[in-house]
Chain A
């Protein structure tokens, strides 16, 4: 979906523009440079979204294969970050739909997901490596949120994307992104309160 703000000319970070131009001219080294440039951001996003490092690695590779196939469709005036994350988002959602469809349940009217109702205190492999401090507790609590909430929190707070960029990455309207972000934060807070990490339930 196109949004006015997202359609404005995107100013690529220094270096990315050059790599994109080279890639469109068919320079194979340029794609390798982009893989290196985006390795941590893309892997981190996929880890947050699918919650499993091995699946994130697989999706990371699939994303770049898809980028190589479809780079001719990318409009250089648009935001490459949003385009790249959109490719990764689509592959990750397909994967979740295939193997864990319950993780994509629409939130209930209360903002709570059906998944949230199922107690699942077993930390994932990713959770086990994080420290048991405040930020570690936040990471664990986020890992227990539905995928669509984890995703929007990761894009906003970790990747520092603007809402318009998130909207473009997810292919969702701006209003949906705002609603999802608000509900994600409220669910996170409720989860932290129920685990005793914070004392207050209602902000």
Chain B
């Protein structure tokens, strides 16, 4: 073996000692080390270092860390479940408001037509005003619910 090959193999001794070479490369190093006392000694030194790393004092997870983590996971899970529930509640409320608005519209129209006739007003114009008022009221109600929901969520985030 020439000096260049020897040098190339020496570079691999570290990885060989760490068990980080493929089978063929590992065999090559082992064969070389068997014939080269110098490389065999270096390989043994690297292996000793690997062994020393494995035997280092190992920090253990502190007492209570598992319980604290579990509690955190349960709290997060509960908060997410509450957020999902709030969202579903909000969506149902918005649907309910819109459904009531649509269902009540024929009745409102009759009442407005009657009132307009009694007050001698243009019933179509009065109906348009009531319609606009109802729509704006629904939008304002929905927006208020969303703002309240967001405010509550931010408050929960600050507490966490």
A residues with CB within 8 A of B: 28, 31-32, 35-36, 39-40, 42-44, 47, 53, 57, 60-61, 64-65, 68, 126, 129-131, 134-136, 138-139, 142, 153, 156-158, 163, 178, 181-182, 185-186, 188-189, 200, 203
Q: Which of B15, B53, B58, B77 contacts A28 (CB under 8 A)?
A: B77
Chain B positions within 8 Å of A139 at CB level: 56-57
In this complex, how many residues of chain B approach chain A with their Cβ under 8 Å: the count is 33
Q: Does B151 contact A (CB under 8 A)?
A: no
A177, closest chain B residue (CB): B20
Least Cβ distance of B74 to chain A in Å? 7
Chain B positions within 8 Å of A42 at CB level: 61
Count contacts between A and B, CB distance < 8 Å: 107
A136-B58 contact, Cβ under 8 Å, with A65-B72, A68-B73, A182-B14: no
Q: Does B45 contact A (CB under 8 A)?
A: yes
Is there contact, CB below 8 Å, between A126 and B59? Answer: yes
Q: Does B139 contact A (CB under 8 A)?
A: no
Is there contact, CB below 8 Å, between B74 and A28? Answer: yes
In the assembly, what is the distance between CA of A18 and CA of B2, in Å? 55
Can you list 9 contacts pairing A with B, beta carbon distance less than 8 Å? A43-B59, A44-B59, A57-B62, A157-B54, A158-B56, A158-B58, A181-B14, A185-B49, A185-B50
Q: Which of A40, A60, A188 contacts B69 (CB under 8 A)?
A: A60
Chain B positions within 8 Å of A61 at CB level: 65, 68-69, 72
A65-B65 contact, Cβ under 8 Å, with A135-B55, A156-B20, A157-B53: no
Is there contact, CB below 8 Å, between A39 and B52? Answer: no
Most chain B CB within a 10 A radius of its CB, from A60, A134, A138, A185 = A185
Q: Which of A28, A32, A36, A142 contacts B56 (CB under 8 A)?
A: A142
Is there contact, CB below 8 Å, between B46 and A185? Answer: yes
Is there contact, CB below 8 Å, between A203 and B13? Answer: yes
Is there contact, CB below 8 Å, between A57 and B46? Answer: no
Q: Which of A32, A35, A47, A178 contacts B20 (CB under 8 A)?
A: A178
A135-B56 contact, Cβ under 8 Å, with A157-B50, A189-B49: yes
Chain B positions within 8 Å of A60 at CB level: 61, 65, 69
Chain B positions within 8 Å of A158 at CB level: 53-54, 56, 58
B41, closest chain A residue (CB): A203
Least Cβ distance of A27 to chain B in Å? 12
In the assembly, what is the distance between CA of A200 and CA of B41, in Å? 12
Q: Which of B46, B53, B60 contacts A142 (CB under 8 A)?
A: B53
Q: Which of A44, A53, A181 contacts B58 (CB under 8 A)?
A: A44
In the assembly, what is the distance between CA of A139 and CA of B53, in Å? 7
In the assembly, what is the distance between CA of A203 and CA of B156, in Å? 58
Is there contact, CB below 8 Å, between B77 and A40? Answer: no
Chain A positions within 8 Å of B53 at CB level: 138, 142, 153, 157-158, 188
Chain A positions within 8 Å of B55 at CB level: 135
Is there contact, CB below 8 Å, between B49 and A156? Answer: no
Is there contact, CB below 8 Å, between B77 and A68? Answer: yes
Chain A positions within 8 Å of B61 at CB level: 39-40, 42-44, 60
